[in-house]
Amino acid sequence: MFLALRELRFAKVRFGLMGAVVGLIAVLMVMLSGLSVGLVRDGVSGLQNLPVTSFAFERDVQHDSAFSRSVVDMSAVDAWRSRPGVAQAAPYGNTLANTKSGRGVDVDLALFGVAPDSFLSPEVGEGSRLKDADGVVVSATALDAGLRVGDTITVARLGTRLRVVGATPRQDTFGHVDVAYVPLRTWQLIKAGAAPGDPVPAHATREITAVAVRAKAGAPVDLAAGDAAAGTESLTLEDSYGASPGYSAETATLQLIQVFLYAISALVVGAFFAVWAIQRKHEVAVLRAMGASRGWLLRDALTQAFLLLVAAVGIGAGIGVGLGSLITGGGMPFALSAPSVTGAAAGLVLLGLAGAGAAVARIASTDPATALGGNR
């Protein structure tokens, strides 16, 4: 500790520049972390807020587009309700629609078809709950887009008129589109493309997107056996996120960028301490000649790196949080999360220590004879 602190005070400019680079990487990492959380929330918060543990889709459906391709018969709901470990099962519909309010506001909505008396019927923070056939409960973020409770919205090309009766108390979005909960029968008519007054195909009233399943607390559900009995193919709630438009591509891209930033941080810190180790080679050798153990030298060097990294990452993360708070709630899908910010900061410190450790390992093997001129 003595040598580490002394060198930090002696080479303030050198360590300051290094700390500034690490701090900038920390700022970028926090911003990317917030963007990742924001994109996930904007893409699948409507699914995250559903009280389900799994969805039973059409058998052999393409997983990355299950919500848009799956067609399941209503009989599968009863099959799943009777399965061991299942607390509740309900029909669920999902489709995207272009709508316009009576005040001329164009709003794209992800229509979630649910039975008003089922466990999928949403809580409301404003207005009333889902009940009437022409009623609709929208995401709280749809109000920011220009909708109001009491508005009448018209589904494009069909002319179906729906009345906004309430809004959820939180953000509910799917594929970056605001969610609107509609009665299942109404959703089936819209999905079938039936305009008001048109005859409705008989099969339309039997078709849903998936069966929403909620397991009993602490009771496992055999999804494979349930699928065999119901003729479906199940995905857990978390696995179903990949069926949201753009979810997998967006998250994979941001995760790859974060991986590269972690690697860059380790390389930058490692390169700095490699150069620093070369410059102080003779001083360290003198300490070795005076009896300092290899472990002591390595601990001293890693302590120096740890102090630098913690200070730089702490300042950088603080700046990142400050900048993030300025854009949270704006048009950009950005959300700060304490676990993600803490995890990013800890990752930078640990990988930076790994890079520094690899660079200064040579210090531990310094030959004391170097300090005595034995290498000349």
Digit-by-digit pLDDT tens for the chain (376 residues) are 556 566 667 778 878 888 898 899 999 889 988 888 888 889 999 999 999 999 999 999 999 899 999 999 999 999 999 999 999 999 999 999 999 998 888 999 999 999 999 999 999 999 999 999 899 999 999 998 889 999 999 999 899 999 999 999 999 999 999 999 999 999 999 999 888 777 778 888 899 999 999 999 988 899 999 999 999 999 999 999 999 988 888 888 888 988 888 888 888 887 887 777 777 667 766 766 777 677 777 787 788 888 888 999 999 999 999 998 888 766 678 888 888 889 888 988 888 888 877 777 766 666 666 555 555 4
Q: How far apart are alpha carbons 34 and 337 in whole angstroms?
A: 7
Cα–Cα distance measured from residue 308 to residue 206, given in angstroms and rounded to the nearest whole number: 64
